[in-house]
Amino acid sequence: MGRYVARRLLQMIPVVIGTTLIIYTLVWSLPGDPFAGRCGARPCPPAYVAAMTDKYNLDDFWLVAYFKYLGNLLTGDFGETFQGLSVGEELLRAYPTTAKLALVAIAFEILIGIGAGILAGLRRGSYIDNLVLVSTLVVVSIPVFVIGSVLQLFLGMRWGIFPATVGGDASLYNLILPGFVLASLSLAYVARLTRTSLAENRRADYVRTAVAKGLPQRRVIGVHTMRNSLIPVVTFIGADFGALLGGAIVTEGIFNVPGVGNLIFRSITARDGVMVTGAVTVLVLVFLLVNLLVDLIYGWLDPRISHG
Amino acid sequence: MATTQAGIARRPDEAGLTPLLEVEDLRVEFRTRDGVAKAVNGVSYTLHEGETLAVLGESGSGKSVTAQAIMGILDSPPGFVTGGSVRFRGQDLLALPDDERRAYRGRSISMIFQDALSALNPVFPVGWQIAEMFRVHEGMSKKDARKRAVDLMEQVRIPAARERVGDYPHQFSGGMRQRIMIAMAIALDPDVLIADEPTTALDVTVQAQIMQLLADLQRERNMGLILITHDLGVVADVADKIEVMYSGRIMEEAPVHDIYASPAHPYTKGLLESIPRVDLKGQELSAIKGLPPNLTNIPAGCEFRPRCPYAREICKEQRPPLAEVVPGRFSACHFAQEVLEGDIEPAQQ
C-alpha cells in the first residue's frame, strides 16, 4: 500500500511538469502585446515595461523562463499578477469557496442521486422508476447554464426561496442553489448508475446465497446487495469531486460565486498569465491527489482490486 | 390427462419413520415473454434422516428449480410455485408467510451452490460470511461468531483456518471456496442439506475430496442430503436413492445400486449407456439422440417419446404415471417391466 502510494506520487511529477509547461507556454505565447491596456489609455512607460519584462523573464528563451517559474513554484512562490497581487493569496481566498460549493454539490449527488437510484433500482418498472428515468433524461439533455438561469430566476428571484446570488458571503445556505445546479448533471448520472448497478446485483448469485442463509430482506439488500452496487457509484462520485474542485466557470458565473472558476475566468479575459498558470497548476495537483484518493477508496471497497 | 400423483400413494412409508422432508406434487412455472415454461410438473419425493437422495437429470430437467422451490429462493417473478406442498417434519413450508419461512432457511434446510466464487459475496471476508449465520440467527457477538467460523473452517478441513478467516473469496482455490460454502451451510446444524451440483465447477481430484467431505459431514450429523447432479459417476458411491428427472417430472426412482444394475426407464438406460467405459474403448459412445422438449410446449403423451428408442403407439397418447415396477422401484414408462428385464426391442421406424 505504502509503495503503491509512493509510486503514484512519483508518477505525478512528470504529469505536473508536463501540464504546467503546456499552460505556461500557451499563456505566454498568445499573440499580442502583453502590456496592451495595462496603463490605461496611454502606452506604458518604458521603465514599467522594463521592470515587468524583467519580473516575468520575458526576454529569456521561453523554456528558460518556464524553468525559472518552476523553480519559484517549488519554493511555494506562485508569483504576482501585473497588479501586484499575490497569486498564492488570491488562490487561498478563492479555494475554500470552491471546495464548499463542491461539497454541497456532492452532498446533493449522494442524497438525491443515490436515493433516487435506490428507489428506482429496487422497483424496476414502477411509477417511481419511470419518474427517475424521465426526469434524469430531462436534466441530462438541458445545458447547465439553462438550468442555472431558470432556477435562479424562479427559486431565487420570483419566489425568493433561496438567495439568487452568492457574492461576498459564501455561506453554505447561500451555496444551496448553485450547489444543486452544479450537481444536476452528475446527479442524474449517479441516479442512473445506482439504479442499473443495483438492479444488476439483485440477480447476483451471492444475493441468492444471502437469501438462502435465511437473512432478513433488509439485510440482504442493505448489506449484501448495496455494498456491491455502490462500488461503481462511489468511484464516479469521487472522480466527480476531483473535477468539481477545479471550479465551475459557468455555475460560479451565473450565481456570482467568488470561487476558483470565477477567478480563472476573470484572469483569462484580463490576460493575466501568472494567475492562470498558478491556478491551473493547483487544479492539476488537486485533481491528481483526489484521483489517487479515489483509487485507494476503490481498493478498500472492492478487495479484489489490490494495490500490491 | 395423465396424472403423476398416483405413484405417491403407493409408496411404502419406509420403516414407519416420519420423513424429514416430503415434496408432493410440486409444480413450478416461469412466466416469461415467450410463454409459460413449465419447469416442474408434479415432482414428489421424500427424504429421511441420514438419507442421501440423488436427483439426476440434464440441464433444464427441473432438478435445480425443484430445490430452489424447496428453499424458497425461486426468482419470482418470473418463477412461481403453482401447486403442491413441501413439508418439513410435517409443516408445509409453502403455506407459511415469508418471515416464518425465513426461519427455516439456513437453520433447518440449507443449500450449497455450483459456483462458489459467484455464490460467495466478493467484498466480505469468508469468516465474516460464515459468522453472519450465528450473528443473525443466534444474535451471537462478533467475536464469538468469528471463533465459531474458525471452528467450522477447520471442520471442513481448510488448512490454516485461523490465519485465513479474514481472507476474501477470490484468495481461495475453487475447492477451498466450496468448502467455505459448505461450512456456511452446515453452520447452524441443519437437518437437510441441498447440494446443487456442488462439484461441477471443480477438478476431478477436488471433486472426490468434496464428495467425501459431504459424505462424512452427512454421516456425522445424520443430515438428510439432497444431491443434485447430472453426473452419474458422482452419485454412485454416496447416494442411497436416486430420482431421475426429465422435463420437470420424475422418470424413475430406485435405490442406487439397483438403478446401475438394471434401469427401469429408457431414459435412465440411455444415460447409463452414455457413460464412457474403459472396457468399451474403441467403440462408438452411445448417446441419447435429440434434445429435451421445449418447456413452454411439452408434447402430449410421454415427454421422452421423441427420443425414446422403444416408443410405441400408446406413448403418443398417454403420459405414463410414475408407478411401482417391483417393490421399492418406480418408473414412469408404459414398458417399465420390459425395460427392467431387458425384454423389449427398439421400435421399427
pLDDT for residue B13: 47
Q: CA of A133 to nearest chain B CA: how many angstroms apart?
A: 22
pLDDT for residue B10: 37
B123 part of contact set with chain A, CB < 8 Å: yes
Cβ neighbours of B195 in A, within 8 Å? none
CB contact under 8 A, B136 and A219: yes
Give dist(CA A204, CA B121) in Å, integer.
9
Give dist(CA A178, CA A166) in Å, integer.
9
C-alpha separations of A13 from A140, A293, B150 in Å: 36, 17, 46
Mean pLDDT of B328-341: 89
Give dist(CA B225, CA B111) in Å, integer.
10
Residue B7 pLDDT greater than 70, yes or no: no
C-alpha separations of B199 from A204, A247, B174, B228, B248 in Å: 20, 56, 10, 10, 22
Give dist(CA B324, CA B301) in Å, integer.
19
Residue A214, in any domain of the structure: yes
Mean pLDDT of B147-164: 93
- State the CATH number of the domain containing residue A145: 1.10.3720.10
Residue A100, in any domain of the structure: yes
C-alpha torsion angle, residues A238, A243, A249, A250 (rounded to 10) = -50
Residue A14, in any domain of the structure: no
CB contact under 8 A, A209 and B124: no
Amino acid sitting at position A228: N
Domain count, chain A: 1
pLDDT tens digit sequence for B78-103: 889 998 999 999 899 999 998 899 99
Amino acid sitting at position B48: H
Q: How far is CA B223 from the centre of its chain?
A: 15
pLDDT tens digit sequence for B162-217: 999 999 999 999 999 999 999 999 999 999 999 999 988 888 888 889 999 999 99
Give dist(CA A94, CA A259) in Å, integer.
5
Give the position of cell 396424472.
B3
A6 grid coordinates: 509512493
DSSP code for B270: H
- Identify the three-state secondary structure at position B240: coil
C-alpha separations of B34 from B30, B39, B233, B297, B299 in Å: 10, 14, 36, 11, 17
B281 grid coordinates: 474403448
Residue A252, in any domain of the structure: yes
pLDDT for residue B16: 53
Q: CA of B116 to nearest chain A CA: how many angstroms apart?
A: 9
Residue A9, in any domain of the structure: no
Q: Which of A208, A231, A303 sits opposite B168 (nearest CB)?
A: A303
pLDDT tens digit sequence for B222-267: 999 999 988 887 788 888 999 999 999 999 999 988 888 889 999 9
**% helix / strand / coil in chain A, to the nearest 5?**
75, 0, 25
Residue of B70, B71, B73 to mutate when probing chain A, most A C-beta within 10 A: B73
- Identify the three-state secondary structure at position B15: helix
Give dist(CA A257, CA B132) in Å, integer.
50
Residues from A in contact with B at Cβ < 8 Å: 203-206, 208-217, 219, 224, 227-228, 231, 301-304
Is the pTM here over 0.80, yes or no?
Answer: yes
Domain with CATH 3.40.50.300 in chain B: 18-246
Q: Which of A102, A126, A135, A124 is nearest to A283 (CA)?
A: A102
CB contact under 8 A, A214 and B106: yes
Q: Which of B102, B118, B137 sits opposite A206 (nearest CB)?
A: B118
Residue A79, in any domain of the structure: no
CB contact under 8 A, A213 and B107: no
ipTM reported for the complex surpasses 0.90: no
The number of C-beta contacts closer than 8 angstroms across A and B is 72
Q: How far is CA B200 from the centre of its chain?
A: 13
Residue A46, in any domain of the structure: no
Give dist(CA A122, CA A129) in Å, integer.
9
pLDDT tens by residue, chain A, 308 residues: 788 899 999 999 999 999 989 988 888 887 777 777 777 777 888 888 888 888 888 778 888 888 888 888 888 888 888 778 888 898 998 999 999 999 999 999 999 999 999 999 988 888 999 999 999 999 999 998 899 899 998 888 889 888 888 877 778 888 899 999 999 999 999 999 999 999 999 889 999 999 999 999 999 999 999 999 999 999 999 989 988 988 788 888 888 888 899 999 988 888 888 888 888 888 889 989 999 998 888 888 888 887 65
Residue B12 pLDDT greater than 70, yes or no: no
Cβ neighbours of A228 in B, within 8 Å? 121-123
CB contact under 8 A, A203 and B75: yes
- Annotation: CATH topology of B18-246: Rossmann fold (3.40.50)
Residue A53, in any domain of the structure: no
C-alpha separations of A75 from A9, A20, A28, A66, B179 in Å: 18, 15, 22, 15, 59
Handedness of CA A137, A142, A148, A154 (dihedral sign): negative
Query: What is the domain extent for residue A133?
Result: 93-258+288-301
Q: CA of A290 to nearest chain B CA: how many angstroms apart?
A: 23
Q: Can you point out the beta strands (E) in chain B?
A: 21-32, 35-47, 52-56, 79-88, 91-92, 109-112, 192-196, 224-229, 241-246, 249-255, 323-326, 329-331
Neighbours of A138 (CB within 10 A): 11
B251 in Cβ contact with B320 (< 8 Å): no
